[in-house]
Amino acid sequence: MLDKTIPYYRVIMQRKAGTPIPEPALPADFAFVSCTAGDEKEWAEIEASVGEFPRAVDALLYFQQEYLPYLRELERRTLFVQRENGEKVATLTDWWAYTGERRDPWLHWIAVKPGCQGLGLGKAIVFEGMRRMLLIEGDRDVFLPTQTWSYKAIGIYRQAGFGFDAEPGAGGFTNEYELARPILQEKLAFR
């Protein structure tokens, strides 16, 4: 869940090419599955459940506008963690964004339903998402937009090789790292 009790600042993270990626490991009874047409409702429910959107319908509209026009890419770039019973409980999208004319790979919309947090699913989906990103994009620098409210996830991103990036406006995202640094230092105990 997002921790909305602390100030909100947007932060950009970057994984440099060549940085090792840990092996993804899911608990028993869970599996990675790729997105298929019709999965947009599950994606929207997951994202709304963690507070990224106020309602699932808002997340669904975003998904339909931003991703559905690229269905073929969506199917190879959006990943879920699914229970044995078919319930999708986590998601991540290997996407792209432009900084000027430079096209970079970006991780988007990483989320785990609250009832499944603490089981290692977030770490597993980030590691698997990075593994798949390298297959799609090659071993390049990869970016990730996040925020102070997601400081627990930032710990996972750091384990996946991401560090804080000072580039302003990369991928069209605001980067408020300097404002976020004191909060992140307190919450993550890093220097």
pLDDT in tens, 74-93: 999 999 999 999 999 999 99
pLDDT-derived band at 134, boundaries 50, 70, 90: very high
pLDDT in tens, 22-57: 999 999 999 999 999 999 999 999 999 999 999 999
Task: Return the exposure string of 21-40: e unless at least 16 CB atoms fall within 10 Å of the residue's CB, then b.
Answer: beebebeeebebeebeeebb
Both tokens of residue 62?
Answer: 């975003």
Both tokens of residue 21?
Answer: 């990626």
pLDDT at residue 9 greater than cutoff 70 = yes
The pTM of this model reads: 0.94
Burial of residue 73, with CB atoms counted within 10 A of its CB: 0-12 exposed, 13-18 middle, 19 or more buried = middle
More confident residue, 165 or 191: 165
Q: What pLDDT was estimated at residue 75? A: 95
pLDDT in tens, 89-119: 999 999 999 988 999 999 999 999 999 999 9
Report if residue 80 sits inside a domain: yes
Report if residue 182 sits inside a domain: yes
Q: What pLDDT was estimated at residue 189? A: 79
Report if residue 57 sits inside a domain: yes
Q: What pLDDT was estimated at residue 50? A: 95
The structural domain count of the chain equals 1
Both tokens of residue 8?
Answer: 């909100």
Token pair 């047409």: residue: 37
Backbone angles phi, psi at 96, to 5 degrees: -145, 165
Percent of the chain with pLDDT over 90: 88
Backbone angles phi, psi at 70, to 5 degrees: -115, 50
Q: Supply the DSSP symbol for 68.
A: G
Report if residue 43 sits inside a domain: yes
pLDDT at residue 178 greater than cutoff 70 = yes
pLDDT at residue 165 greater than cutoff 90 = no
Per-chain mean pLDDT for the chain: 94
Q: What is the CATH number of the domain that holds 141?
A: 3.40.630.30
Beta bridge partners of 32: 81
Report if residue 5 sits inside a domain: no
Percent of the chain with pLDDT over 70: 99
Report if residue 62 sits inside a domain: yes
Q: How far is CA 20 from CA 15, 78, 120, 138, 165, in A?
A: 10, 22, 19, 13, 18
Report if residue 67 sits inside a domain: yes
